[in-house]
Amino acid sequence: MSARGRLVAVSNRVGPVRGAATAGGLAVGLVDALRERGGLWFGWSGRTAPAGRAKLHRERAEGITLATLDLSPQDFENFYCGFCNNCLWPLMHFRIDLMRFERRQLESYRRVNARFAQTLARLLRAGDQVWVHDFHLIPLAEELRRRRARQRIGFFLHTPFPPTEILSTLPEHESLVRALFAYDLIGFQTEQDLERFREHVRRACGGSARGDTVTAFGRELRAGAFPIGIDVDQFHRYAFTAPGSREFARMRGVLRGRDQFIGVDRLDYSKGLLRRMDAFGRYLEAHPKAHGKVILLQVAPVSRGDLASYRSFRQELDREAARVNGRFARFDWTPVHYLNRALPRRTLAGLYRASRVGVVTPMRDGMNLVAMEYVAAQDPEDPGVLVLSRFAGAAQFLREALIVNPYDGEETAAALHAAREMRLPERRRRHEALMRRLRARDVARWRSDFLAALAEAPLARRSTRKAK
Ligand code: ADQ
Protein backbone atom coordinates (compact mmCIF):
# COMPACT_ATOMS: atom_id res chain seq x y z
CA MET A 1 0.00 0.00 0.00
CA SER A 2 2.72 2.46 0.93
CA ALA A 3 4.41 1.74 -2.43
CA ARG A 4 1.43 3.47 -4.00
CA GLY A 5 2.09 6.71 -2.17
CA ARG A 6 -0.48 9.18 -1.04
CA LEU A 7 -4.06 9.01 -2.27
CA VAL A 8 -5.56 12.24 -3.56
CA ALA A 9 -9.32 12.15 -4.04
CA VAL A 10 -11.01 14.89 -6.02
CA SER A 11 -14.77 15.32 -6.08
CA ASN A 12 -17.16 18.20 -6.50
CA ARG A 13 -18.30 18.01 -2.88
CA VAL A 14 -15.81 17.16 -0.15
CA GLY A 15 -16.45 15.45 3.16
CA PRO A 16 -17.65 14.92 5.70
CA VAL A 17 -14.82 12.97 7.26
CA ARG A 18 -16.10 12.77 10.81
CA GLY A 19 -19.29 10.82 10.66
CA ALA A 20 -18.70 9.82 7.03
CA ALA A 21 -20.36 6.54 7.81
CA THR A 22 -23.48 8.40 8.82
CA ALA A 23 -23.46 10.62 5.76
CA GLY A 24 -23.52 7.82 3.21
CA GLY A 25 -22.71 8.09 -0.47
CA LEU A 26 -19.22 8.80 -1.67
CA ALA A 27 -17.81 9.68 1.74
CA VAL A 28 -18.19 6.10 2.98
CA GLY A 29 -16.28 4.83 -0.02
CA LEU A 30 -13.37 7.22 0.23
CA VAL A 31 -12.68 8.07 3.83
CA ASP A 32 -11.21 4.71 4.85
CA ALA A 33 -8.78 4.71 1.94
CA LEU A 34 -7.80 8.33 2.59
CA ARG A 35 -7.23 7.62 6.26
CA GLU A 36 -5.07 4.58 5.52
CA ARG A 37 -2.86 6.52 3.18
CA GLY A 38 -2.73 9.92 4.85
CA GLY A 39 -4.66 11.30 1.95
CA LEU A 40 -5.73 14.62 0.52
CA TRP A 41 -9.35 15.32 -0.46
CA PHE A 42 -9.82 18.22 -2.80
CA GLY A 43 -12.91 19.89 -4.28
CA TRP A 44 -15.53 22.59 -3.96
CA SER A 45 -16.21 24.01 -0.50
CA GLY A 46 -19.96 24.12 -1.18
CA ARG A 47 -19.78 27.91 -0.74
CA THR A 48 -19.62 30.92 -3.01
CA ALA A 49 -17.35 33.95 -2.71
CA PRO A 50 -16.77 36.90 -5.06
CA ALA A 51 -14.28 35.96 -7.78
CA GLY A 52 -11.29 37.87 -6.36
CA ARG A 53 -11.89 36.69 -2.82
CA ALA A 54 -12.29 32.95 -3.28
CA LYS A 55 -9.61 31.23 -1.25
CA LEU A 56 -8.29 27.80 -0.49
CA HIS A 57 -9.65 26.38 2.75
CA ARG A 58 -7.53 23.77 4.42
CA GLU A 59 -8.30 21.60 7.39
CA ARG A 60 -7.20 18.29 8.81
CA ALA A 61 -9.48 15.63 10.15
CA GLU A 62 -8.48 12.15 11.26
CA GLY A 63 -5.22 12.24 9.33
CA ILE A 64 -6.88 13.46 6.14
CA THR A 65 -6.21 16.87 4.64
CA LEU A 66 -9.25 18.58 3.19
CA ALA A 67 -8.57 21.33 0.69
CA THR A 68 -11.50 23.16 -0.83
CA LEU A 69 -12.14 26.14 -3.07
CA ASP A 70 -15.12 28.47 -3.22
CA LEU A 71 -16.95 29.15 -6.46
CA SER A 72 -17.81 32.63 -7.63
CA PRO A 73 -21.57 33.28 -7.74
CA GLN A 74 -21.32 33.29 -11.56
CA ASP A 75 -19.58 29.93 -11.62
CA PHE A 76 -22.08 28.51 -9.15
CA GLU A 77 -24.80 29.54 -11.62
CA ASN A 78 -23.03 28.53 -14.82
CA PHE A 79 -20.83 25.63 -13.79
CA TYR A 80 -22.79 23.92 -11.03
CA CYS A 81 -26.43 24.73 -11.74
CA GLY A 82 -25.87 25.19 -15.46
CA PHE A 83 -23.47 22.89 -17.24
CA CYS A 84 -23.26 20.17 -14.55
CA ASN A 85 -26.85 19.86 -13.46
CA ASN A 86 -28.84 21.25 -16.37
CA CYS A 87 -26.77 19.82 -19.19
CA LEU A 88 -24.52 16.90 -18.22
CA TRP A 89 -26.78 15.31 -15.59
CA PRO A 90 -29.80 14.97 -17.94
CA LEU A 91 -27.50 13.91 -20.78
CA MET A 92 -25.92 11.16 -18.69
CA HIS A 93 -29.41 9.93 -17.80
CA PHE A 94 -30.51 9.86 -21.44
CA ARG A 95 -32.85 12.86 -20.92
CA ILE A 96 -31.87 15.07 -23.82
CA ASP A 97 -35.37 16.55 -23.72
CA LEU A 98 -34.28 18.23 -20.46
CA MET A 99 -30.73 19.04 -21.54
CA ARG A 100 -29.97 22.77 -21.78
CA PHE A 101 -26.76 23.77 -23.47
CA GLU A 102 -25.33 27.29 -23.14
CA ARG A 103 -21.86 28.06 -24.37
CA ARG A 104 -21.13 30.41 -21.46
CA GLN A 105 -21.90 27.53 -19.11
CA LEU A 106 -19.48 25.24 -20.91
CA GLU A 107 -16.87 27.99 -20.62
CA SER A 108 -17.52 28.23 -16.90
CA TYR A 109 -17.16 24.41 -16.66
CA ARG A 110 -13.78 24.63 -18.33
CA ARG A 111 -12.75 27.62 -16.23
CA VAL A 112 -13.63 25.95 -12.94
CA ASN A 113 -11.78 22.78 -13.93
CA ALA A 114 -8.74 24.83 -14.94
CA ARG A 115 -8.81 26.75 -11.66
CA PHE A 116 -9.17 23.56 -9.64
CA ALA A 117 -6.24 22.05 -11.57
CA GLN A 118 -4.11 25.11 -11.01
CA THR A 119 -4.57 24.90 -7.26
CA LEU A 120 -4.37 21.13 -7.05
CA ALA A 121 -1.18 20.95 -9.15
CA ARG A 122 0.60 22.92 -6.42
CA LEU A 123 -0.58 20.50 -3.73
CA LEU A 124 0.47 17.32 -5.55
CA ARG A 125 3.61 15.35 -4.74
CA ALA A 126 5.50 12.93 -6.95
CA GLY A 127 4.15 9.42 -6.41
CA ASP A 128 0.62 10.57 -5.47
CA GLN A 129 -2.22 8.54 -6.89
CA VAL A 130 -5.03 10.87 -7.98
CA TRP A 131 -8.64 9.67 -8.11
CA VAL A 132 -11.13 12.06 -9.70
CA HIS A 133 -14.87 11.55 -9.28
CA ASP A 134 -17.78 12.18 -11.55
CA PHE A 135 -18.98 14.31 -14.44
CA HIS A 136 -18.30 17.68 -12.81
CA LEU A 137 -14.58 17.17 -13.25
CA ILE A 138 -14.02 15.41 -16.57
CA PRO A 139 -11.46 17.98 -17.89
CA LEU A 140 -9.44 18.01 -14.66
CA ALA A 141 -6.73 15.56 -15.75
CA GLU A 142 -6.22 17.37 -19.06
CA GLU A 143 -5.77 20.61 -17.13
CA LEU A 144 -3.40 18.95 -14.67
CA ARG A 145 -1.32 17.50 -17.51
CA ARG A 146 -1.08 20.97 -19.01
CA ARG A 147 0.50 21.94 -15.73
CA ARG A 148 2.96 19.07 -16.04
CA ALA A 149 1.37 16.72 -13.52
CA ARG A 150 2.92 13.29 -14.16
CA GLN A 151 1.12 11.34 -11.44
CA ARG A 152 -1.22 8.48 -12.21
CA ILE A 153 -4.71 9.91 -12.52
CA GLY A 154 -7.89 7.82 -12.53
CA PHE A 155 -11.49 8.84 -13.13
CA PHE A 156 -14.69 7.19 -11.94
CA LEU A 157 -18.06 8.03 -13.45
CA HIS A 158 -20.89 7.59 -10.95
CA THR A 159 -23.65 8.13 -13.51
CA PRO A 160 -24.45 5.97 -16.53
CA PHE A 161 -22.47 6.55 -19.72
CA PRO A 162 -24.99 7.37 -22.48
CA PRO A 163 -25.23 5.72 -25.91
CA THR A 164 -23.27 7.37 -28.68
CA GLU A 165 -26.38 8.79 -30.44
CA ILE A 166 -27.34 10.57 -27.22
CA LEU A 167 -23.86 11.74 -26.31
CA SER A 168 -23.40 13.14 -29.81
CA THR A 169 -26.27 15.57 -29.28
CA LEU A 170 -24.08 17.52 -26.86
CA PRO A 171 -22.39 20.35 -28.73
CA GLU A 172 -18.63 20.00 -28.34
CA HIS A 173 -18.91 16.46 -27.06
CA GLU A 174 -15.62 15.68 -28.85
CA SER A 175 -13.67 17.89 -26.47
CA LEU A 176 -15.29 16.27 -23.46
CA VAL A 177 -14.46 12.74 -24.60
CA ARG A 178 -10.98 13.78 -25.67
CA ALA A 179 -10.44 15.12 -22.14
CA LEU A 180 -11.08 11.64 -20.77
CA PHE A 181 -7.97 10.47 -22.60
CA ALA A 182 -5.75 12.46 -20.27
CA TYR A 183 -6.56 9.89 -17.56
CA ASP A 184 -4.64 6.64 -17.11
CA LEU A 185 -7.71 4.69 -16.05
CA ILE A 186 -11.40 5.38 -16.29
CA GLY A 187 -13.95 3.37 -14.38
CA PHE A 188 -17.66 2.85 -15.01
CA GLN A 189 -20.38 1.38 -12.84
CA THR A 190 -21.32 -1.51 -15.15
CA GLU A 191 -20.13 -3.48 -18.17
CA GLN A 192 -22.93 -1.83 -20.16
CA ASP A 193 -21.58 1.64 -19.44
CA LEU A 194 -18.10 0.47 -20.35
CA GLU A 195 -19.38 -1.04 -23.59
CA ARG A 196 -21.20 2.20 -24.51
CA PHE A 197 -17.98 4.14 -23.96
CA ARG A 198 -16.01 1.72 -26.14
CA GLU A 199 -18.69 1.92 -28.79
CA HIS A 200 -18.61 5.71 -28.75
CA VAL A 201 -14.83 5.72 -29.09
CA ARG A 202 -15.06 3.38 -32.09
CA ARG A 203 -17.94 5.10 -33.83
CA ALA A 204 -17.53 8.77 -33.02
CA CYS A 205 -13.82 9.20 -32.29
CA GLY A 206 -12.24 6.90 -34.89
CA GLY A 207 -10.57 5.04 -32.04
CA SER A 208 -10.29 1.39 -31.08
CA ALA A 209 -10.82 -0.78 -28.03
CA ARG A 210 -9.02 -4.04 -27.34
CA GLY A 211 -9.32 -5.80 -23.99
CA ASP A 212 -9.21 -3.09 -21.35
CA THR A 213 -7.13 -0.79 -23.55
CA VAL A 214 -8.89 2.00 -25.40
CA THR A 215 -7.10 4.16 -27.93
CA ALA A 216 -8.12 7.46 -29.53
CA PHE A 217 -6.72 10.94 -30.21
CA GLY A 218 -3.25 9.40 -30.32
CA ARG A 219 -3.54 8.40 -26.69
CA GLU A 220 -4.24 5.20 -24.86
CA LEU A 221 -5.94 4.47 -21.57
CA ARG A 222 -7.29 1.62 -19.51
CA ALA A 223 -11.04 1.39 -19.00
CA GLY A 224 -13.00 -0.99 -16.80
CA ALA A 225 -16.22 -1.64 -14.91
CA PHE A 226 -15.89 -1.15 -11.14
CA PRO A 227 -19.37 -1.46 -9.66
CA ILE A 228 -19.68 0.52 -6.45
CA GLY A 229 -21.12 -1.17 -3.36
CA ILE A 230 -22.01 -0.33 0.23
CA ASP A 231 -20.53 -1.10 3.63
CA VAL A 232 -22.78 -4.12 4.11
CA ASP A 233 -21.89 -4.94 7.69
CA GLN A 234 -22.26 -1.40 8.91
CA PHE A 235 -25.74 -1.11 7.45
CA HIS A 236 -26.71 -4.51 8.69
CA ARG A 237 -25.50 -3.52 12.18
CA TYR A 238 -27.52 -0.32 12.15
CA ALA A 239 -30.61 -2.22 11.18
CA PHE A 240 -29.89 -4.98 13.65
CA THR A 241 -29.80 -2.58 16.57
CA ALA A 242 -32.87 -0.72 15.29
CA PRO A 243 -35.51 -3.10 16.67
CA GLY A 244 -34.37 -2.31 20.24
CA SER A 245 -34.64 1.44 19.80
CA ARG A 246 -37.48 3.74 20.85
CA GLU A 247 -37.58 5.17 17.36
CA PHE A 248 -38.18 1.75 15.86
CA ALA A 249 -41.02 1.12 18.27
CA ARG A 250 -42.51 4.43 17.11
CA MET A 251 -42.21 3.37 13.47
CA ARG A 252 -44.01 0.15 14.23
CA GLY A 253 -46.59 2.09 16.17
CA VAL A 254 -47.31 4.35 13.21
CA LEU A 255 -47.75 1.33 10.97
CA ARG A 256 -50.24 -0.38 13.30
CA GLY A 257 -49.82 -3.70 11.53
CA ARG A 258 -49.94 -2.20 8.06
CA ASP A 259 -47.43 -3.24 5.42
CA GLN A 260 -45.07 -0.48 4.39
CA PHE A 261 -43.63 0.02 0.93
CA ILE A 262 -40.62 2.32 1.09
CA GLY A 263 -38.91 4.58 -1.43
CA VAL A 264 -35.80 6.64 -0.53
CA ASP A 265 -34.40 8.91 -3.22
CA ARG A 266 -33.03 12.36 -3.77
CA LEU A 267 -35.83 14.40 -5.28
CA ASP A 268 -34.65 13.94 -8.86
CA TYR A 269 -36.53 13.19 -12.07
CA SER A 270 -34.15 10.31 -12.85
CA LYS A 271 -35.42 8.37 -9.83
CA GLY A 272 -38.82 7.54 -11.29
CA LEU A 273 -40.87 9.05 -8.46
CA LEU A 274 -43.84 10.17 -10.55
CA ARG A 275 -44.29 6.80 -12.19
CA ARG A 276 -43.80 5.10 -8.85
CA MET A 277 -46.72 7.08 -7.38
CA ASP A 278 -48.75 6.18 -10.44
CA ALA A 279 -47.85 2.48 -10.10
CA PHE A 280 -48.81 2.55 -6.44
CA GLY A 281 -52.16 4.09 -7.44
CA ARG A 282 -52.66 1.31 -9.97
CA TYR A 283 -51.84 -1.26 -7.32
CA LEU A 284 -54.48 0.21 -5.01
CA GLU A 285 -56.92 0.33 -7.87
CA ALA A 286 -56.41 -3.34 -8.68
CA HIS A 287 -56.41 -4.54 -5.05
CA PRO A 288 -59.22 -3.03 -2.99
CA LYS A 289 -58.46 -5.54 -0.23
CA ALA A 290 -55.15 -3.76 0.33
CA HIS A 291 -56.96 -0.50 1.16
CA GLY A 292 -56.28 0.48 4.73
CA LYS A 293 -53.58 -2.20 4.99
CA VAL A 294 -50.63 -0.74 3.08
CA ILE A 295 -48.82 2.57 2.91
CA LEU A 296 -46.13 3.94 0.65
CA LEU A 297 -43.53 5.93 2.58
CA GLN A 298 -41.56 8.07 0.16
CA VAL A 299 -38.52 9.80 1.67
CA ALA A 300 -37.25 12.33 -0.85
CA PRO A 301 -34.94 15.09 0.42
CA VAL A 302 -34.89 18.16 -1.78
CA SER A 303 -31.92 18.13 -4.08
CA ARG A 304 -30.57 20.89 -6.34
CA GLY A 305 -33.31 23.14 -5.07
CA ASP A 306 -31.62 26.12 -6.77
CA LEU A 307 -32.70 24.82 -10.15
CA ALA A 308 -36.08 25.79 -11.54
CA SER A 309 -36.48 22.38 -13.24
CA TYR A 310 -36.12 20.65 -9.86
CA ARG A 311 -38.58 23.01 -8.21
CA SER A 312 -41.22 22.35 -10.80
CA PHE A 313 -40.55 18.62 -10.61
CA ARG A 314 -41.18 18.81 -6.88
CA GLN A 315 -44.52 20.50 -7.48
CA GLU A 316 -45.48 17.81 -9.93
CA LEU A 317 -44.62 15.11 -7.43
CA ASP A 318 -46.60 16.89 -4.69
CA ARG A 319 -49.59 16.87 -7.04
CA GLU A 320 -49.16 13.21 -7.94
CA ALA A 321 -48.93 12.16 -4.26
CA ALA A 322 -51.98 14.31 -3.49
CA ARG A 323 -53.83 12.75 -6.43
CA VAL A 324 -53.29 9.21 -5.11
CA ASN A 325 -54.21 10.27 -1.59
CA GLY A 326 -57.23 12.25 -2.78
CA ARG A 327 -58.47 9.25 -4.67
CA PHE A 328 -57.96 6.50 -2.07
CA ALA A 329 -57.53 8.01 1.40
CA ARG A 330 -60.07 7.34 4.14
CA PHE A 331 -60.49 9.28 7.35
CA ASP A 332 -58.34 6.66 9.13
CA TRP A 333 -55.86 5.88 6.37
CA THR A 334 -53.57 7.95 4.15
CA PRO A 335 -51.91 5.71 1.57
CA VAL A 336 -48.94 7.94 0.60
CA HIS A 337 -46.68 9.37 3.31
CA TYR A 338 -44.21 11.74 1.83
CA LEU A 339 -41.17 13.29 3.61
CA ASN A 340 -38.92 15.92 2.02
CA ARG A 341 -36.13 15.47 4.51
CA ALA A 342 -32.70 13.87 4.87
CA LEU A 343 -32.64 11.38 7.74
CA PRO A 344 -29.83 9.96 9.87
CA ARG A 345 -28.64 6.65 8.48
CA ARG A 346 -29.65 4.74 11.58
CA THR A 347 -33.19 5.99 11.13
CA LEU A 348 -33.11 5.07 7.45
CA ALA A 349 -31.87 1.59 8.32
CA GLY A 350 -34.72 1.20 10.79
CA LEU A 351 -37.25 2.38 8.21
CA TYR A 352 -35.92 -0.06 5.62
CA ARG A 353 -36.14 -2.86 8.13
CA ALA A 354 -39.67 -1.97 9.10
CA SER A 355 -40.76 -2.03 5.44
CA ARG A 356 -42.17 -5.09 3.76
CA VAL A 357 -41.20 -3.90 0.27
CA GLY A 358 -38.35 -1.68 -0.98
CA VAL A 359 -39.36 0.20 -4.11
CA VAL A 360 -36.39 1.34 -6.18
CA THR A 361 -37.63 2.24 -9.63
CA PRO A 362 -35.38 4.84 -11.28
CA MET A 363 -35.84 5.56 -14.97
CA ARG A 364 -32.05 5.47 -15.22
CA ASP A 365 -29.39 5.23 -12.49
CA GLY A 366 -25.64 4.66 -12.46
CA MET A 367 -25.88 2.08 -9.68
CA ASN A 368 -28.32 2.97 -6.85
CA LEU A 369 -27.12 2.38 -3.34
CA VAL A 370 -30.58 2.53 -1.79
CA ALA A 371 -31.43 -0.84 -3.35
CA MET A 372 -28.40 -2.34 -1.61
CA GLU A 373 -29.08 -0.61 1.70
CA TYR A 374 -32.63 -1.92 1.72
CA VAL A 375 -31.42 -5.51 1.29
CA ALA A 376 -28.64 -5.17 3.88
CA ALA A 377 -31.09 -3.80 6.46
CA GLN A 378 -33.51 -6.73 6.31
CA ASP A 379 -34.03 -9.28 9.03
CA PRO A 380 -32.64 -12.52 7.50
CA GLU A 381 -35.33 -14.51 9.33
CA ASP A 382 -38.17 -12.44 7.90
CA PRO A 383 -36.82 -10.33 5.06
CA GLY A 384 -38.72 -7.88 2.90
CA VAL A 385 -38.68 -7.90 -0.89
CA LEU A 386 -36.90 -5.51 -3.25
CA VAL A 387 -38.68 -4.24 -6.36
CA LEU A 388 -35.97 -2.89 -8.64
CA SER A 389 -35.90 -1.08 -11.98
CA ARG A 390 -33.99 -2.83 -14.71
CA PHE A 391 -32.52 0.58 -15.57
CA ALA A 392 -30.57 0.90 -12.32
CA GLY A 393 -26.98 -0.33 -12.58
CA ALA A 394 -27.75 -2.38 -9.46
CA ALA A 395 -30.12 -4.57 -11.49
CA GLN A 396 -27.06 -6.08 -13.20
CA PHE A 397 -26.11 -7.69 -9.90
CA LEU A 398 -29.18 -7.88 -7.70
CA ARG A 399 -30.81 -10.52 -9.85
CA GLU A 400 -33.01 -11.97 -7.11
CA ALA A 401 -34.94 -8.73 -6.74
CA LEU A 402 -38.25 -8.42 -8.59
CA ILE A 403 -36.97 -6.63 -11.67
CA VAL A 404 -39.41 -4.28 -13.39
CA ASN A 405 -39.59 -1.87 -16.28
CA PRO A 406 -40.64 1.41 -14.61
CA TYR A 407 -42.19 2.63 -17.87
CA ASP A 408 -44.76 -0.13 -17.45
CA GLY A 409 -47.08 0.97 -14.64
CA GLU A 410 -49.06 -2.25 -14.68
CA GLU A 411 -45.98 -4.42 -14.44
CA THR A 412 -44.68 -2.35 -11.53
CA ALA A 413 -48.05 -2.51 -9.78
CA ALA A 414 -48.11 -6.30 -10.26
CA ALA A 415 -44.60 -6.55 -8.79
CA LEU A 416 -45.71 -4.54 -5.72
CA HIS A 417 -48.50 -7.05 -5.25
CA ALA A 418 -46.20 -10.07 -5.79
CA ALA A 419 -43.66 -8.63 -3.35
CA ARG A 420 -46.26 -8.13 -0.64
CA GLU A 421 -47.71 -11.59 -1.11
CA MET A 422 -44.41 -13.47 -1.35
CA ARG A 423 -44.14 -16.40 1.04
CA LEU A 424 -41.40 -16.61 3.65
CA PRO A 425 -39.29 -19.44 2.08
CA GLU A 426 -38.99 -17.55 -1.20
CA ARG A 427 -38.26 -14.27 0.56
CA ARG A 428 -35.49 -15.95 2.52
CA ARG A 429 -34.02 -17.65 -0.51
CA ARG A 430 -33.91 -14.40 -2.46
CA HIS A 431 -32.55 -12.41 0.44
CA GLU A 432 -29.72 -14.88 1.12
CA ALA A 433 -28.65 -14.78 -2.51
CA LEU A 434 -28.80 -10.97 -2.59
CA MET A 435 -26.70 -10.70 0.57
CA ARG A 436 -24.05 -12.95 -0.99
CA ARG A 437 -23.93 -10.61 -3.97
CA LEU A 438 -23.68 -7.52 -1.77
CA ARG A 439 -20.83 -8.98 0.22
CA ALA A 440 -18.95 -10.03 -2.89
CA ARG A 441 -19.06 -6.44 -4.21
CA ASP A 442 -18.92 -4.19 -1.22
CA VAL A 443 -17.48 -0.70 -1.12
CA ALA A 444 -14.05 -1.89 0.07
CA ARG A 445 -13.73 -4.11 -2.98
CA TRP A 446 -14.79 -1.26 -5.29
CA ARG A 447 -12.11 0.97 -3.86
CA SER A 448 -9.32 -1.58 -3.80
CA ASP A 449 -10.09 -2.91 -7.30
CA PHE A 450 -10.06 0.58 -8.77
CA LEU A 451 -6.90 1.68 -6.99
CA ALA A 452 -5.08 -1.56 -7.84
CA ALA A 453 -5.98 -1.13 -11.51
CA LEU A 454 -4.81 2.48 -11.38
CA ALA A 455 -1.51 1.43 -9.81
CA GLU A 456 -1.03 -1.07 -12.63
CA ALA A 457 -2.02 1.26 -15.47
CA PRO A 458 1.02 1.49 -17.73
CA LEU A 459 3.26 4.46 -17.25
CA ALA A 460 4.97 4.27 -20.59
CA ARG A 461 2.38 6.10 -22.64
CA ARG A 462 2.65 9.20 -20.50
CA SER A 463 6.19 9.84 -21.57
CA THR A 464 5.08 9.91 -25.20
CA ARG A 465 1.91 11.87 -24.68
CA LYS A 466 1.71 15.53 -25.34
CA ALA A 467 -1.25 17.17 -23.70
CA LYS A 468 -3.14 19.37 -26.12
P1 ADQ B 1 -27.32 9.26 -6.03
O2 ADQ B 1 -28.02 9.68 -7.28
O3 ADQ B 1 -27.35 10.23 -4.92
O4 ADQ B 1 -25.82 8.82 -6.31
P5 ADQ B 1 -27.85 6.61 -4.66
O6 ADQ B 1 -26.90 5.62 -5.21
O7 ADQ B 1 -29.18 6.01 -4.40
O8 ADQ B 1 -28.10 7.87 -5.60
O9 ADQ B 1 -27.25 7.17 -3.31
C10 ADQ B 1 -27.98 8.00 -2.49
C11 ADQ B 1 -27.44 7.95 -1.06
O12 ADQ B 1 -28.08 8.99 -0.34
C13 ADQ B 1 -27.77 6.64 -0.38
O14 ADQ B 1 -26.68 6.25 0.42
C15 ADQ B 1 -28.99 6.99 0.49
O16 ADQ B 1 -29.10 6.26 1.68
C17 ADQ B 1 -28.76 8.45 0.77
N18 ADQ B 1 -30.07 9.08 0.96
C19 ADQ B 1 -31.07 9.18 0.07
N20 ADQ B 1 -32.14 9.77 0.62
C21 ADQ B 1 -31.81 10.06 1.90
C22 ADQ B 1 -32.48 10.67 3.00
N23 ADQ B 1 -33.73 11.12 2.92
N24 ADQ B 1 -31.81 10.80 4.14
C25 ADQ B 1 -30.54 10.36 4.23
N26 ADQ B 1 -29.87 9.77 3.25
C27 ADQ B 1 -30.48 9.62 2.09
C28 ADQ B 1 -24.95 8.78 -7.47
C29 ADQ B 1 -25.49 8.02 -8.68
C30 ADQ B 1 -25.91 6.62 -8.30
C31 ADQ B 1 -24.73 5.88 -7.65
C32 ADQ B 1 -24.09 6.73 -6.55
C33 ADQ B 1 -22.80 6.11 -6.05
O34 ADQ B 1 -26.60 8.74 -9.25
O35 ADQ B 1 -26.39 5.89 -9.40
O36 ADQ B 1 -25.16 4.66 -7.11
O37 ADQ B 1 -23.80 8.05 -7.01
O38 ADQ B 1 -21.91 5.89 -7.10
- 342-385 confidence digits (pLDDT tens): 888 888 999 999 999 999 999 999 999 999 999 999 999 999 99
pLDDT of residue 465: 42
- Whole-number pLDDT of residue 36: 86
For the cut 50, the answer to whether the pLDDT of residue 61 exceeds it is yes
Q: Would the CB of 366 count as within 6 Å of ligand 1? A: yes
- From 369, 389, 441, give the residue whose CB has the most ligand 1 atoms within 8 Å, as the site to mutate: 369
pLDDT the model gives residue 467:
39
Report the pLDDT averaged over residues 122-149.
97
Q: From ligand 1's centre to the CA of 388, what distance in Å? A: 15
Mean pLDDT over 205-222 rounds to 96
Q: Which atom of ligand 1 is nearest to the CA of 25?
A: 14
pLDDT band at 19 (very low <50, low <70, confident <90, very high): low
Nearest atom in ligand 1 to the alpha carbon of residue 230 is 14
pLDDT, position 398? 98
Quick check: CB of 242 below 6 Å from ligand 1?
no
For residue 255, the model assigns a pLDDT of 86
* pLDDT confidence of residue 252: 78
User: What's the pLDDT score for residue 464?
Assistant: 42
Q: Which of 259, 188, 305 is nearest to 416 (CA)?
A: 259
pLDDT mean across residues, the chain = 93
Q: Is 306 a catalytic residue?
A: no
pLDDT at 462 over 70: no
Query: Which ligand 1 atom lies nearest to the CA of residue 393?
Result: 35
Q: Is the CB of 301 under 6 A from ligand 1?
A: yes
CA of 231 to the centre of ligand 1 (A): 13
pLDDT on residue 52: 80
- CB 266 near ligand 1, within 6 Å: yes
d(CA 445, CA 36): 15
pLDDT tens for each residue of 281-312: 999 999 999 999 999 999 998 888 888 888 88
How close is the Cα of 118 to the center of ligand 1, in Å?
30
pLDDT digits (tens, 9 = 90+) for 435-450: 999 999 999 999 999 9
pLDDT of residue 249: 78
Least confident span in 83-92, 105-114, 132-141, 332-341: 332-341
Which residue, by CA, sits nearest to atom 28 of ligand 1?
A: 158
pTM over 0.85: yes
Mean pLDDT of 68-74: 96
Q: Is the pLDDT of residue 3 over 60?
A: no
Question: Is 392 a pocket residue for ligand 1 (Cβ < 6 Å)?
Answer: no
Which residue's alpha carbon is nearest to atom 15 within ligand 1? 370
Mutate which of 134, 161, 190, 264 for ligand 1? The one with the most ligand atoms within 8 Å of its CB, which is: 264
**Res 2: pLDDT:** 45
Atom number of ligand 1 nearest to Cα 158: 38
- Average pLDDT on 247-255 reads 79
Residue 272 — left, alpha, or beta (φ > 0 → left; ψ -120 to 50 → alpha)? left
Protein residue with least CA distance to atom 1, ligand 1: 368
Ligand 1 pocket mutation pick from 268, 367, 447 by most atoms within 8 angstroms of CB: 367
Would you call 365 a catalytic residue per the annotation? yes
Closest by alpha carbon to 436, among 393, 383, 375?
A: 375
Ligand 1: does its nearest atom lie under 6 Å from the Cβ of 85?
no
| pLDDT at residue number 461 | 55
- Per-residue pLDDT band for 21 (boundaries 50, 70, 90) equals low
Q: 377: Cβ below 6 Å to ligand 1?
A: no
Please say if the pLDDT value at position 404 is more than 50: yes
- What spacing in Å lies between the alpha carbon of 363 and ligand 1's midpoint? 15
Percent of the chain with pLDDT over 90: 80
CA of 270 to the centre of ligand 1 (A): 12
pLDDT, position 25: 66
Out of 93, 158, 200, 236, the active site residue is 158
Rounded to the nearest angstrom, the distance between the alpha carbon of 266 and the centre of ligand 1 is 7
pLDDT for 280: 98
Residue to mutate, 22, 343, 370, 438, ligand 1, most ligand atoms under 8 Å from C-beta = 370
Q: Is 367 in the pocket of ligand 1 (CB under 6 A)?
A: yes
Which residues have CB under 8 Å from 223's CB, separation 6+? Answer: 185, 186, 187, 188, 194, 197, 198, 209, 212, 213, 214
Rounded mean pLDDT of 163-181?
A: 98
pLDDT at 54: 77
